[in-house]
Amino acid sequence: MSQILIIYTGGTIGMMSDPATKVLKPINFEQIMDNVPELEKLNCKIKVHSFEEIIDSSNMNPAIWSQLAGLIEANYETVDGFVILHGSDTMAFTASALSFMLENLAKPVIFTGSQLPISAIRTDAKENLMTAIEIANAKKNDKARVPEVAIYFDYKLFRGNRSFKYNSSKFEAFRSPNYPILAESGVHLRFSVNDIRQPGNEPLIVHKNLMGDVAVLKLYPGISPKVVETILSSDVRGIIMETFGAGNTSTDAWFIDMLKNAVDSGKVILDISQCKVGTVELGRYETSKLLKDIGIANGYDMTYEAAVTKMMHLLGQIKDPQEVKQYLETDLRGELTIS
């Protein structure tokens, strides 16, 4: 019988309302098990690692991502798949980060959580947890059906580094508009075979070194030179620039000059769009041709979450800004589509 490791970090799925204060408080995994007796019926053995201190996902950070990667590395040879219980607010960041940290991954790493606590009558937690385990356990010809980092929520499985949380009040919390879903749960589990990445035969390589000195420059009409200068002159190596439409920005001389000076000083600037659907096309419009000419990196259709964590990952491995730029524009884990 196969074995699945559940890593319990926290999140709404592991909350219970305090009868006196009505405030949601974290519970331990044994209490979660008490609320889902159906787990005993699954055709797999379940192993559990619970964080000693339950974490609100708002407090997630690169050090915890490295801890998660280390747990996967330590158990990789002895289990068939992983399910990570995580708060939904930053789940897409953690899933994206782990997709880059786990090179040559050949086993499922499925994130899930819930919008309502597992103790609530109308909770979505039970279905999310049960199906996430089924997906992590699913095999065909003795090979994992989903050998990548993914998020399961509300009957859909998304590639982790293609998804983002878009709704805090519906069970349908996540979307992946630039990439198809990997699987859908109904009466049967239906896998989108052609959309799931297939691993090679190389051994797992775990990259735990992440560099957090990344800043974000989100553009808006009327942004002042003072604001732009403050961000571009900050003591960071990488900057995510959220631009308009297909990657467009102002062509004012002061703005382009500031960007060029930042690039010339060794900073890596990645252009992603504020639009949730579509891709950056540097050079398509005059307003983005200048960016391409001065060495701004093209983020194509990466999500904000993937862009931030990919930048952190590459800065932790590579010193040369040009090499970082090259890999930012390269599809490493299915996170972007080169148009």
For 245-294, what is each residue's pLDDT tens digit?
A: 999 999 999 999 999 999 999 999 999 999 999 999 988 877 788 999 99
Tell me what pLDDT residue 115 has. 87
State the pTM of this model.
0.94
Tell me what pLDDT residue 37 has. 75
Tell me what pLDDT residue 125 has. 83
How far CA 319 is from CA of 207, 209, 238, in Å, comes to: 15, 13, 11
**Could you list the mean pLDDT of each consecutive 10-residue stretch along the chain, which spans 339 residues?**
93 73 68 75 88 89 97 97 95 98 98 87 88 96 96 97 94 95 94 95 96 96 96 96 95 96 97 96 84 95 98 97 97 94
Question: What kind of architecture, by CATH, is found in domain 214-328?
Answer: 3-Layer(aba) Sandwich (3.40)
CA angle 104, 300, 314 (to 5 degrees): 45
Sequence ranges of the domains in the chain: 3-206, 214-328
3-206 fold: Rossmann fold (3.40.50)
Tens-digit pLDDT profile for residues 82-111: 999 999 999 999 999 999 999 999 999 999
Question: Do β-strands 156-159 and 139-140 pair in parallel, antiparallel, or remain unpaired?
Answer: unpaired
Tell me what pLDDT residue 28 has. 67
Check if 3-206 and 214-328 are the same fold.
Answer: yes
Between CA 324 and CA 238 the distance in angstroms is 9
Just list the catalytic residues. 12
Between CA 268 and CA 334 the distance in angstroms is 21
